[in-house]
Structure 1
Amino acid sequence: MHAAHPIVVELPEGSHRICHCGETATPPLCDRSGWNQCSDAAELTMPVRKTVMICTCAKSGKIPLCDGSHGNNTKTRNHRPRRQPS
């Protein structure tokens, strides 16, 4: 998972594993499928449901969250997250 732009995702309250191995079928969340269980996954606990930006460039000081260190985050580019189809 090494791209130039963060992944914008709405996460429900609770604990989440953010995958960094690139082998998950449900990026950016670790699905623990197959033999590789993403030993490099970062744990992220959400106190409430919230839309967040997940870092994909590995330059953030707040991994797994994007802090704009790469210069391509959606806040600095005034983009809005896409809505998922119903």
Structure 2
Amino acid sequence: MRIQVLRLPLVELAGIHEEPFALIADQFDGAPESQQTLMAFAEQAGARALWMTGETVEIVETPEPAVLETLAADDDHFGI
């Protein structure tokens, strides 16, 4: 069994930024005691969701656009 993190879209509410995530438990054997332990762990860690599967899942992170990095590094150029 592997545990992977799936980053979800950034949430902003009243000036507070939150980066929600889900946990993916792949190659899972399905043992009931493992399910209960994983569910408790996901809740304590603050995961929005937990997906358990016996299959192999590869999480592919989408890179942030290079434009955001350029703007953040060059704020003075834009008069911000």
User: Would you say same fold, with TM above 0.5?
Assistant: no
Give the TM-score normalised by structure 2.
0.28
Give the TM-score normalised by structure 1.
0.27
Return the structure number with greater relative CO, CA threshold 8 A, min gap 6.
Answer: 1
